[in-house]
């Protein structure tokens, strides 16, 4: 999707005042790039369904039955079950057909249609309706606390015709909000729709910055939330610390699944160590594994030294243990015996001679001193 603010180097920021971040896709949540936009097709062959984006990246499909000349980013008035709403064209052409197949949306008469391009008056009415969202959100939260309902209200979206509001909430259990709907309808004079969303969808609607320093994936491009298990962290040798593995939604981070397939492919060549390796020096336990370098570190119980072994060596030791054999060490199967050589014997002989000569010198000195003492005692003054 092209930047609607026309911001860039040397170009004045026009609309969102985001100071140049529009070029990175920071203006709109869940923005897409139409890589078939420059391909011209005959009018009778163009796909007549258009993808339209609403608040916080919510998208839906509408039929361009009036054959309007639409471009990405155009504001259009679309049909709703209870009136009309205003959205922005996010995708059109053959890519919309692929998106419908991916999301399993049937191309039938159930698809609502696009009325017209939005005028200035339509946009002004939409702005008036949006100005009511924050006061309605705060007031509704007060009513929820008064009714003691176990639910968390995260967002309110008013329809462009100012006749209906959708309240997005999250809850752990089933909530009876019939009394709440009556109070809201009487106080705000609107149709009320309560829509429950998961904690991941809530984080995607609210947005934020992750620990990686980038915008949350769920608020920028990730639309399908897959199940994330703690086994994904175990396969990647990550610390099983809930505070580090959890995202802003309180659930496990979606990015744990991004590299999981690569780790699983690399783990196929690494043996599973269910028991310590048996050697003549003792039992060696697995301390650490470098999955991509295929190196495994082992250490003895009473030794702080870790010994790196490649996968081939570990498999060899495992085969020896299965056969009832033990290698001498982790690195060697048999210790080399040191043979007595002539050089070693000659060195020992030289040391013996050296110590013998020293002992003889000491004996000579002692005998000489004793003689002098005797002479001195026999010849007194």
Which pLDDT tens digits describe the chain residue by residue (381 residues)?
Answer: 334 444 444 444 444 444 444 444 445 566 777 777 666 666 566 788 999 999 888 899 999 988 898 888 899 999 999 899 999 999 988 889 998 998 889 988 899 999 999 999 999 999 999 999 999 999 999 999 999 999 999 999 999 999 999 999 999 888 998 999 999 999 999 999 999 998 898 888 888 899 889 989 988 888 788 889 999 999 998 888 888 899 988 899 999 999 999 999 999 989 989 889 999 988 999 998 999 999 999 999 888 889 999 999 999 999 999 999 999 888 888 766 544 444 445 666 666 676 666 565 555 556 656 566 655 555 554
Q: Which residues of 133-146 are buried (b: 16+ CB within 10 A; e: fewer)?
A: eeebbeebeeebee
What is the chain's Cα-based Rg?
40
Six-digit token string for 374: 């005797």
C-alpha–C-alpha distance, residues 74 and 90, integer Å: 8
> What pTM, to 2 d.p., does this model score?
0.68
**169-177 long-range contacts, Cβ below 8 Å, gap at least 24?**
169/194, 169/195, 169/196, 169/197, 170/196, 170/197, 170/198, 170/199, 170/202, 171/196, 175/149, 175/150, 175/151, 176/149, 177/149, 177/151
If one counts every other C-beta atom within 10 angstroms of the C-beta of residue 62, the result is 21
């Amino acid at each position: 999707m092209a930047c609607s603010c026309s911001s860039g180097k040397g170009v004045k920021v026009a609309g969102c005042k985001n100071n140049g971040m529009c070029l990175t896709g920071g203006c709109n949540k869940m923005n897409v790039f139409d890589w078939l936009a420059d391909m011209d097709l005959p009018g009778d062959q163009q796909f007549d369904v258009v993808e339209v984006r609403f608040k916080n990246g919510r998208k839906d499909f509408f039929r361009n039955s009036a054959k309007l000349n639409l471009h990405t980013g155009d504001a259009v008035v679309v049909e709703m079950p209870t009136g009309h709403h205003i959205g922005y064209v996010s995708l059109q052409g053959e890519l919309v057909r692929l998106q419908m197949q991916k999301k399993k949306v049937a191309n039938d008469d159930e698809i609502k249609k696009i009325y017209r391009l939005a005028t200035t008056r339509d946009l002004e009415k939409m702005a008036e309706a949006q100005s009511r969202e924050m006061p309605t959100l705060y007031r509704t939260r007060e009513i929820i606390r008064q009714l003691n309902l176990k639910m968390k209200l995260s967002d309110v979206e008013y329809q462009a015709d100012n006749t209906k509001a959708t309240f997005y909430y999250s809850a752990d259990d089933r909530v009876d909000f019939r009394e709440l709907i009556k109070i809201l309808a009487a106080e705000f004079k609107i149709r009320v729709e309560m829509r429950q969303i998961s904690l991941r969808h809530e984080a995607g609607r609210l947005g934020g910055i992750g620990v990686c320093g980038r915008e949350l994936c769920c608020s920028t491009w990730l639309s399908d939330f897959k199940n994330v298990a703690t086994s994904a962290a175990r396969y990647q040798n990550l610390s099983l610390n809930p505070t580090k593995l959890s995202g802003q939604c309180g659930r496990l981070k979606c990015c744990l699944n991004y590299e999981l397939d690569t780790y699983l492919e690399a783990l196929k060549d690494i043996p599973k160590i269910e028991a310590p390796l048996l050697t003549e020096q003792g039992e060696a336990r697995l301390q650490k594994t470098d999955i991509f370098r295929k190196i495994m570190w082992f250490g003895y119980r009473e030794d702080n030294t870790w010994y790196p072994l490649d996968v081939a060596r570990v498999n060899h030791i495992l085969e020896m243990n299965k056969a009832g054999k033990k290698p001498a060490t982790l690195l060697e199967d048999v210790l080399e015996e040191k043979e007595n050589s002539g050089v070693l014997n000659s060195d020992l002989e030289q040391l013996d001679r050296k110590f013998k000569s020293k002992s003889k010198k000491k004996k000579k000195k002692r005998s000489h001193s004793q003689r002098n003492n005797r002479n001195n005692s026999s010849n007194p003054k």
